[in-house]
Amino acid sequence: MTFGKYTSKSFKWLVENDVGYCKYIVDRHMKEMRHPEKRKTINETQGWHKSWEAEDSGLPKQDIKWLKEDEERGLFLKPRPFSDMYGRKRWRKVLKSEKMWFHPPEMPGVVDGSTVPVADSFFRHRVFFWRPVGVWRYSVRCTKPDCPAKDNPKAFLYRCGYGNTVRPICDINGWYFMLTEVLACDACRHLTLYYSLIFPHLNYCNIVWASTHPTYINKLLIIQKRFLRMISHANRYEPSAPLFINYSLLSINKINIFKTCLFMFKFKNYIQNLPSSFHNFFCVNSNIHSYATTKYFNLPFCRTWKHQSFITYRGPHLWNSLNKSLKSSPSLPIFKKHLKNFLIISSL
């Protein structure tokens, strides 16, 4: 075989291993012989969205044809050949990269009788393709206030496809339609990857299992740090603490502290929302003795390390060690926000 996905394999090998592929090649060859005019069809129009052709929210019907097919006025350059992943020669159209305004072909002038113009040519619109990076090569920075790359002077947005929304704009001369390119931030996209691939595994029921012995937790912590170095393009010897602060993330140990403190806050302020089995889980100091103390919860006596890792001990211990301002937060969302900010910068 000199082409396709089984290049360099013998015909005998192909018959023995993938007869279906043989049948596909023969069928395709026969189809091409039957319809030779279809052999050089345009397989791709790079960047064109199907949603731009939607009847209710897309471009007007009379504008679609000239935008896709007119080589002088439309969005695309002349078709170019390329090889796909199977080594097959295909044809595609690439977007023009030197202009953003596209004006429709002029209306027909003299009609000689042989070609009667269609009414569509009188109702076409201008199209503005807003591409500040694709055409102007402009350096745009991420606008998110919590972007991890906000302090990096070399971090700019890059092109990430084109928006599927067509916006009709009313200008002083009439209507035109606007298409836009989509810009993406490398650091923010990597953070999304972390929250979709890694964080759910560390977060799920963390309060139940993550207070176990550090021997077991450290293995997960190493993986978390490795992923963080991967998404921040740091080398393997770079310290992870600044990366956690830069990305505003909590390590697996801090996630456990966060969850435990959250549970204690709910126990103290919203005990009616917890299941009844938790109502006598912790003992309050004011129920045991009458003298004033800064420690709200009573610490049970624990002799072994294993017992100290139970939430009945860890919960009161962590709560008693929190700042007074944190403990007196007026609501759960405010407590969560302040506690997370405190844990991110603290060196626990």
* Residue span 186-205 as binding mask against Zn ion, x where in contact by CB under 5 A, dash where not: -xx-----------------
Can residue 157 be called a binding residue for Zn ion (CB under 5 A)?
Answer: no
Q: Alpha-carbon distance 44 to 335, whole Å? A: 52
Q: Which is nearer to Zn ion, 142 or 343 (CB)?
A: 142
Q: What is the smallest separation between the CB atom of 160 and Zn ion, expressed in angstroms?
A: 12
Give 106's DSSP letter. P
Q: What is the smallest separation between the CB atom of 139 and Zn ion, expressed in angstroms?
A: 14
Phi, psi of 25 (to 5 degrees): -65, -45
Q: How far is CA 245 from CA 145, 147, 187, 217, 241, in A?
A: 15, 12, 14, 20, 6
Q: What is the smallest separation between the CB atom of 145 and Zn ion, expressed in angstroms?
A: 10
Q: Which of 245, 258, 254, 276 is nearest to 332 (CA)?
A: 258
Phi, psi of 178 (to 5 degrees): -115, 130
Can residue 142 be called a binding residue for Zn ion (CB under 5 A)?
Answer: yes
Q: Alpha-carbon distance 273 to 12, whole Å? A: 71
Binders in 44-63 for Zn ion, by CB under 5 A: none
Single out the segment in contact with Zn ion by CB under 5 A; choices: 30-38, 142-150, 173-181, 215-223. Answer: 142-150
Q: Which is nearer to Zn ion, 144 or 279 (CB)?
A: 144
Q: What is the smallest separation between the CB atom of 341 and Zn ion, expressed in angstroms?
A: 19
Q: Which is nearer to Zn ion, 20 or 153 (CB)?
A: 153
Among positions 135, 147, 223, 332, the unique one binding Zn ion when judged by CB under 5 A? 147
Q: Alpha-carbon distance 339 to 255, whole Å? A: 11
Q: Alpha-carbon distance 200 to 205, whole Å? A: 10
Q: Which is nearer to Zn ion, 246 or 256 (CB)?
A: 246
Can residue 207 be called a binding residue for Zn ion (CB under 5 A)?
Answer: no
Q: Which of 92, 105, 5 is nearest to 42 (CA)?
A: 92
Among positions 59, 127, 183, 185, the unique one binding Zn ion when judged by CB under 5 A? 185
For residue 308, the SS3 value is helix
Binders in 13-42 for Zn ion, by CB under 5 A: none
Note the residues at the interface with Zn ion (CB under 5 A): 142, 144, 147, 185, 187-188
